[in-house]
Chains A and B, each alone.
Chain A
Amino acid sequence: MNLTLVFLVLTNLLLLASGRLSTCIRIVAAQGVALGLLALSTGRPGLSIGAIALSLVSILLKGIVFPTLLSRAIREAQVRREARPFVGYTASVTLGVVLLLGAFGLDSRLALPRSDYPPLSVPAAFFTILVGLFLIVSRKQALSQVLGYLVMENGIFAFGLIHAREEGFLVGLGILLDVFVAVFVMGIAIFHINREFDHIDTERLSALKDWER
């Protein structure tokens, strides 16, 4: 379990440093598979059918379906790289380290009511959420923002798998279904944006505002 969490932290740093969209998609997919395995290891002793099913569904969606959908989107839109992000890659990684420290700081503030959780779980999950949020605000391509959303959701999912494991199979499945439809609808939106504007650069989506300048 700790191994998965360390893997999560390292892949986050890699994401911050990487500008090639196809690499980013693969990294996020790897995170998804790791989370699927995490779902197996967090249940009570002995594997329940619910845990196995949840694990299989999340590996299938996050490891196979999402990367396929997103790879198709970048082929359609013919973007390979994140063009000129708002924050450069070196700065991103530096900020990532700061975020990691912040996540550990937050962990020391919030005492867990039960002590049988892996000590890394809270900081690793919060770090992943923060990285996801950072990717959404600092990258311009619509596709990077979807990736950021997925990373953030991975972090929340990891937190939930470890700390809300009584939540059960149905809610977990509902969450996955929602995320799947979200990625699907966002994918369609990206397709339309690309057709309408010939780019998927969200910085240039700026027609709607309150006052004419």
Chain B
Amino acid sequence: MIAPPETMAAALVLVPAVAGAAAFVIRRHSARRGLLIAGALVHALLTADVCLRGGDPGSSGWLVLDATARLFLGITSALFLTAAVYALGYLRREPPDERHDFQEDVLFSNAPEAVLTGCLLLFLATMSLVVLSRNLGLLWVAIEATTLVSAPMIYFHRHHRSLEATWKYLLICSVGIAVALLGNFCLAVAAAKAGQGSSSLGLDPLVRNASHLNVPWLKAAFIFLLVGYGTKMGLAPLHTWLPDAHSEAPSVVSALLSGALLNCAFVGILRAQQVLAAAGEAAFGQGLLLILGLLSIGLAGVFILGQTDFKRTLAYSSVEHIGILALGVGLGGAGAFGSMLHAVNHSLAKGMLFLLAGNILAEYRTKSTAHVRGVPGALPVTGVLWGAGFLAICGLPPFGLFTSELTILKAALDQGRTGVAVAYLALLALVFVGLTTTFLGMLQGRTTTPGAGRSRRESVLEFAPPMALGALVLAMGVYVPPALSATLHEVARTLGGF
């Protein structure tokens, strides 16, 4: 397929958007589920084509296919495809009628399945638009749109806890993203003197004329953008919506929120840092990212230690890894490279863990860590994968996260920032202790399922998607393809520090 990059980029947004709109009106379950898989598959094929061809970012228009866009598009698309396959099994399992809530004595039912399927596809469309935006104004519009289409998915199980989570998510993220809009306008003020053509928020003119930008306004813009998109990304202390939304959403949605959505907000920050770096002010943004990164890792560590709900534990682990991403970009140079590698690894590993958490939740009917014992006894495949996922998420070899966390550590040491390196290691150790308690407790002991501890044959749709993600994380630890490595370097170069 040889199509100009602009057409490819437009197709990447339009295909899932049209499929999503169609999903709302299709009545037959089987047809709608087929559409979900088809949409995900077409998107993945288009993405694979774009990524493998590489090179030409496209010269004009609203969309861009540069290294940053290709990297995050690849992550999003791969994760979405596995999540869509998993969703197929999930939707079959979900009973359509009212049932008892296992945490409290109330009845609840699900939102119509069409809402979930449609929103999933629209979610893919808006996330693609975020990473492909060439204009920072459009990027903002797309990020706000991701919030709005994902909110109904968090409220899929219609009970009061998920409603509370949805309200917090909507309000906190909308307000945060409004702050980012102010940042965009400040950027326009900074660019006003540089005197460009029609749109002053185009990424290319901003980077090209970066040396003429008004520095105080540029810095103000960066702060607003960091706070705004940082809220959505889950950087501490702006992460407060994240544990609630991740724990109350269906697991397949949590996997996408954590593995794909947080990255999209990260792209917003990376674009801002790209402009800052082009203006020769990279150090300003790096300093802020470094502090917020360390704060996120530390705060997540503290909250993981006392956590009693395993989905919340995973959510806080996302805050930790988001902190590592920010820290890597904050260090710049090799650190930024490590951060990009970590973005890939974290998305795969966290996607896997959330999907597995969904299996465990369905079997044990509780989110309380203390009440889940002996997972391998009840769910043999899920149990083994859960153990592997634990090793992966803690950054132990031979998984990919080990490589990326080590790269970031090495960058800190090479730059002579021993203090940062020591703090980073100490905080990682804190997180490790917390995660060990959670995961080992769930893996060991006598099986405590409501089904009297007998093991059950799991369906392929339940364990194949997380298994595929796990295999990818493992592969990333052993071998990073040169093409991927080149893309990561290209992204890191735009962020300054080389």
Measured CA separation A160–B192 after assembly (Å): 12
- B217 pairs with A208, CB closer than 8 A: no
Which of A33-41, A59-67, A149-157 participates in binding chain B? A149-157
> What residues of chain A lie closer than 8 Å to B217, measured between beta carbons?
110, 113
A127 to B: closest C-beta gap in Å: 13
- B182 pairs with A174, CB closer than 8 A: no
B219 to A: closest C-beta gap in Å: 10
In the complex, B184 has a CB within 8 A of chain A: yes
- Size range of the chain B interface in the assembly: 35 or more
In the complex, B138 has a CB within 8 A of chain A: yes
> What residues of chain A lie closer than 8 Å to B193, measured between beta carbons?
113-114
B232 to A: closest C-beta gap in Å: 13
> What residues of chain B lie closer than 8 Å to A129, measured between beta carbons?
182
B438 to A: closest C-beta gap in Å: 14
> What residues of chain B lie closer than 8 Å to A152, measured between beta carbons?
175, 178
> What residues of chain A lie closer than 8 Å to B178, measured between beta carbons?
149, 152-153, 156
**Contacts A114-B192, A174-B138, A193-B163: A159 and B182 contacting too (C-beta < 8 A)?**
yes
- B306 pairs with A178, CB closer than 8 A: no
Report which residue of A110, A163, A171, A177 has the largest number of chain B beta carbons within 10 angstroms of its beta carbon: A171
In the complex, B161 has a CB within 8 A of chain A: yes
> What residues of chain A lie closer than 8 Å to B155, measured between beta carbons?
189, 192
Measured CA separation A205–B163 after assembly (Å): 9
Which of B198-206, B342-350, B448-456 participates in binding chain A? B198-206
Measured CA separation A136–B179 after assembly (Å): 14
- B198 pairs with A166, CB closer than 8 A: yes
- A210 pairs with B137, CB closer than 8 A: no
Contact residues of A: prevailing secondary structure:
helix
> What residues of chain B lie closer than 8 Å to A206, measured between beta carbons?
164
- A175 pairs with B306, CB closer than 8 A: no
Closest residue of chain B to A136 (Cβ to Cβ) is B175
Partner of B167, one of A113, A142, A168, A175: A142
Partner of A164, one of B144, B163, B189: B189
- B170 pairs with A185, CB closer than 8 A: yes
B220 to A: closest C-beta gap in Å: 7
> What residues of chain B lie closer than 8 Å to A212, measured between beta carbons?
308
In the complex, B57 has a CB within 8 A of chain A: no
Which of B9-17, B82-90, B145-153, B251-259 participates in binding chain A? B145-153
The total of chain A residues at the interface (CB under 8 A) is 43
A166 to B: closest C-beta gap in Å: 5
In the complex, B160 has a CB within 8 A of chain A: yes
In the complex, A202 has a CB within 8 A of chain B: yes
Contact residues of B: prevailing secondary structure:
helix
Q: In chain A between 89 and 122, which residues have their CB closer than 8 angstroms to a CB of chain B?
A: 110-114
In the complex, A3 has a CB within 8 A of chain B: no
- B192 pairs with A181, CB closer than 8 A: no
**Contacts A171-B135, A171-B141, A210-B306: A136 and B200 contacting too (C-beta < 8 A)?**
no
| 1/0 contact string of B196-215 vs chain A (CB within 8 Å) | 10111100000000000010
Measured CA separation A185–B178 after assembly (Å): 16
**Contacts A159-B185, A192-B163, A197-B160: A167 and B199 contacting too (C-beta < 8 A)?**
yes
**Contacts A208-B165, A210-B303: A145 and B152 contacting too (C-beta < 8 A)?**
no
Partner of B312, one of A145, A193, A210: A210
- B201 pairs with A189, CB closer than 8 A: no
- B170 pairs with A189, CB closer than 8 A: yes
> What residues of chain B lie closer than 8 Å to A159, measured between beta carbons?
182, 185
- B148 pairs with A211, CB closer than 8 A: no
In the complex, A52 has a CB within 8 A of chain B: no
In the complex, A182 has a CB within 8 A of chain B: yes
Measured CA separation A112–B184 after assembly (Å): 15
Report which residue of B160, B196, B243, B244 has the largest number of chain A beta carbons within 10 angstroms of its beta carbon: B160
> What residues of chain A lie closer than 8 Å to B159, measured between beta carbons?
196
Measured CA separation A121–B151 after assembly (Å): 34
Measured CA separation A182–B146 after assembly (Å): 11
In the complex, A49 has a CB within 8 A of chain B: no
Measured CA separation A145–B243 after assembly (Å): 21
**Contacts A152-B178, A164-B200, A167-B199: A193 and B148 contacting too (C-beta < 8 A)?**
no
Measured CA separation A197–B160 after assembly (Å): 8
- B161 pairs with A171, CB closer than 8 A: no
> What residues of chain A lie closer than 8 Å to B182, measured between beta carbons?
129, 156, 159
A194 to B: closest C-beta gap in Å: 10
- A160 pairs with B181, CB closer than 8 A: yes
Closest residue of chain B to A164 (Cβ to Cβ) is B188
In the complex, A186 has a CB within 8 A of chain B: yes
Closest residue of chain A to B309 (Cβ to Cβ) is A210
Closest residue of chain B to A209 (Cβ to Cβ) is B244
A77 to B: closest C-beta gap in Å: 14
A57 to B: closest C-beta gap in Å: 14
- A185 pairs with B160, CB closer than 8 A: no
**Contacts A113-B190, A175-B141: A193 and B167 contacting too (C-beta < 8 A)?**
yes
* Sample of 4 more A-B contacts, CB < 8 Å, known A171-B199, A177-B141, A208-B243: A149-B178, A164-B201, A182-B147, A207-B161
Partner-B contacts on A (CB < 8 A): 110-114, 129, 133, 136, 142, 145, 149, 152-153, 156, 159-160, 163-164, 166-168, 171, 174-175, 177-178, 181-182, 185-186, 189, 192-193, 196-197, 202, 205-208, 210-212
Enumerate the 3 nearest inter-chain pairs by beta-carbon distance, A residue then B residue, closest first. Answer: A164-B188, A171-B137, A174-B141
CB pairs A–B below 8 angstroms (30 shown): A110-B220, A111-B216, A113-B190, A136-B171, A142-B167, A149-B174, A159-B182, A163-B188, A164-B185, A166-B198, A166-B200, A167-B185, A167-B201, A171-B135, A171-B137, A174-B137, A178-B141, A182-B147, A182-B148, A186-B171, A186-B174, A189-B163, A189-B167, A193-B163, A193-B167, A202-B167, A205-B164, A208-B164, A208-B244, A208-B247
